[in-house]
Structure 1
Amino acid sequence: MAGILSRFKDIMSSNINALLDKAEDPMKMIDQYLRNLESDLGKVKAETAAVMAEEMKTKRELNECIESINKMQTYAEKAILSGNEADARIFLEKKNELNKELTSLQQTYEIAQENATKMRTMHDKIVKDISELNSRRDQLKAKMAVAQTQEKLNKIGSSINGAMGNMSKFDQMEAKINKKLDTANAMAELNKSQESNNIDDLMAKYDTQESNTSSEIDDELAKLKAKLNLDK
């Protein structure tokens, strides 16, 4: 019984949150605590019932002794009224024996009553403590659920941050590709411009040839007119 009371005292007076911090699975630890306490309560209840039964027994024996004393007193009075002093003496002697027994029974009953009161008080306190622990367990389970949800949110947040990092890398790759595309387009534009210039030069070449041919013909025509005296 002392061990049971010591466990209850340790649990109720300790900081249960500090104990739970050391546990790998706090909720399993809480449930195990309560299972142990419920088991201890069963033992306390059985012990309390036994002590209370002893109290009722001593109370009954005490009442029976008092009843017997009163009965001997009544019979002694009847014997005196009947003029039978010898019988009255016997009843009174038995009464005296019962009075001595009564003193012992009274002491026994008082001890049993005190023990029963202590055990009942102890039992009721344990029941109250278990109820309190159950309430605290529910609160802790609620806190644990919130904590687990927060952990999930934190993991999701980390994943999102990682995805954002990947998106940033994707943007960098896109920028590089765009730069390559712009460079290629610029080079194509330069090549196209060069090709256009080549065409223009080629066309100018022939334009010059035509111009030179026309000039030569004009010169020939002037010479011919001079020779034939047609320029006058």
Structure 2
Amino acid sequence: MTKQSIFGRISALVRANVNAAIDAAEDPQKMIDQLVRDYSSSIADAESAIAETIGNLRLLERDYAEDVDTANEWGRKAIAASRKADEMRASGNSGDADKFDNLAKVALQRQISAENEAKEAAPTIATQTEVVDRLKAGLQGMKEKLEQLKAKRNELVARAKVAEAQNRVADAVKSVDFLDPNSELGRFEDKIRRQEALAQGKQELAASSLDQQFIELENLGEVTEVEARLAALKSGPAPQAIDR
């Protein structure tokens, strides 16, 4: 049970790292452009399929029109043969009259056959027409979606560029943060402060040495005066007392 839990956590961690790497590698503009290309390709495929469907519908409609024309033609032939038979019968030529009536019957049979074929094709044509209309509407919807996608693409690309610029500015500002002791500028400032402190220390040390020299010089003056007075005592009369 513990092994399964560990393996599950490792698997989740791997997936998270992979997804994070993919997210970092994704270029919004390239990804959206690819989406536009994929959708455009889907529209092209749909157009091809719809064009084929429309072509089949037009063949059905053409066959239907031919069947209707054929039925009408055989109908006209049946009428002509029937009238001819009537004329022959009226003139007393029964044999030829029967012959033309038989031709009229054949024409009527052909008319009925063509009409049946047209009737059978009619529902299919109606169904296919509805399908084509729906496909055309769907295709138009896809094209409108593509235009919306292109417009959204331009918006998102612009927003991505603005966000990228903002991030760069933020990173640049962060890199020169005067208050951050860990920044490069902070380290430079600390180094300069140490150099300034060293210079101040040297100045104070030099000043201290100079003061000591003056003190020694003053002490030397006092010693010199004492020596001079001692020499005067040795060489001259005794000094008189100072009146009070």
Query: Secondary structure of 1:216's match?
Result: coil
Question: Gapped runs of 5+ residues in structure 1?
Answer: 1-21, 220-232
Letter in 2 for 1:53: G
- Mapped contact 1:76–1:89 kept (Cα < 8 A): yes
Letter in 2 for 1:106: A
- Mapped contact 2:233–2:239 kept (Cα < 8 A): no
Which of 121, 126, 129 is the matching residue for 2:137?
121
In structure 2, the residue matched to 1:41 is 43
In structure 1, the residue matched to 2:68 is 66
Query: Secondary structure of 2:23's match?
Result: coil
Q: Return the offset for 1:58.
A: 0.9
- Mapped contact 1:76–1:88 kept (Cα < 8 A): yes
How has the CA–CA distance of structure 1 residues 209 and 68 changed in structure 2, closer, same or farther, with 3 Å as cutoff?
same
Which of 214, 226, 232 is the matching residue for 1:205?
226
In the alignment, the residues of structure 2 paired with residue 141 and residue 30 of structure 1 have an alpha-carbon distance, to the nearest angstrom, of: 8
Query: Secondary structure of 1:23's match?
Result: helix
Question: Gapped runs of 5+ residues in structure 2?
Answer: 1-21, 88-99, 178-182
Q: Return the offset for 1:189.
A: 2.6
In structure 1, the residue matched to 2:176 is 160
- Mapped contact 1:62–1:105 kept (Cα < 8 A): yes
The aligned length equals 200
Is 2:180 the counterpart of 1:190? no
Letter in 2 for 1:198: N
- Mapped contact 2:39–2:146 kept (Cα < 8 A): yes
Which of 193, 196, 214 is the matching residue for 1:175?
196
Q: Return the offset for 1:81.
A: 3.7
Map Cα deviations across residues 95-139 of structure 1 (whole Å, 9 max, x no partner): 222221111111111111112112222222222222322322222
How has the CA–CA distance of structure 1 residues 68 and 209 changed in structure 2, closer, same or farther, with 3 Å as cutoff?
same
Q: Which moved more, 1:204-213 or 1:66-75?
A: 204-213
Q: Return the offset for 1:167.
A: 4.1
Q: CA RMSD in A?
A: 2.8
Which of 151, 154, 162 is the matching residue for 1:138?
154
In the alignment, the residues of structure 2 paired with residue 213 and residue 67 of structure 1 have an alpha-carbon distance, to the nearest angstrom, of: 167
Where has structure 1 moved over 4 Å in runs of 4 or more? none
- Mapped contact 1:51–1:119 kept (Cα < 8 A): no
TM value normalised by structure 1: 0.73
In the alignment, the residues of structure 2 paired with residue 56 and residue 199 of structure 1 have an alpha-carbon distance, to the nearest angstrom, of: 130
Map Cα deviations across residues 128-179 of structure 1 (whole Å, 9 max, x no partner): 2223223222222222222222222222112212243134313421431242
In the alignment, the residues of structure 2 paired with residue 86 and residue 101 of structure 1 have an alpha-carbon distance, to the nearest angstrom, of: 23
Query: Secondary structure of 2:237's match?
Result: helix
1:94-105 correspondence to structure 2 within 5 Å: 94-105=110-121
Letter in 2 for 1:157: V
Letter in 1 for 2:221: D
How has the CA–CA distance of structure 1 residues 45 and 118 changed in structure 2, closer, same or farther, with 3 Å as cutoff?
same
- Mapped contact 2:79–2:104 kept (Cα < 8 A): yes
Map Cα deviations across residues 4-43 of structure 1 (whole Å, 9 max, x no partner): xxxxxxxxxxxxxxxxxx8331524434434433343333
- Mapped contact 1:58–1:112 kept (Cα < 8 A): no
Q: Return the offset for 1:66.
A: 1.6
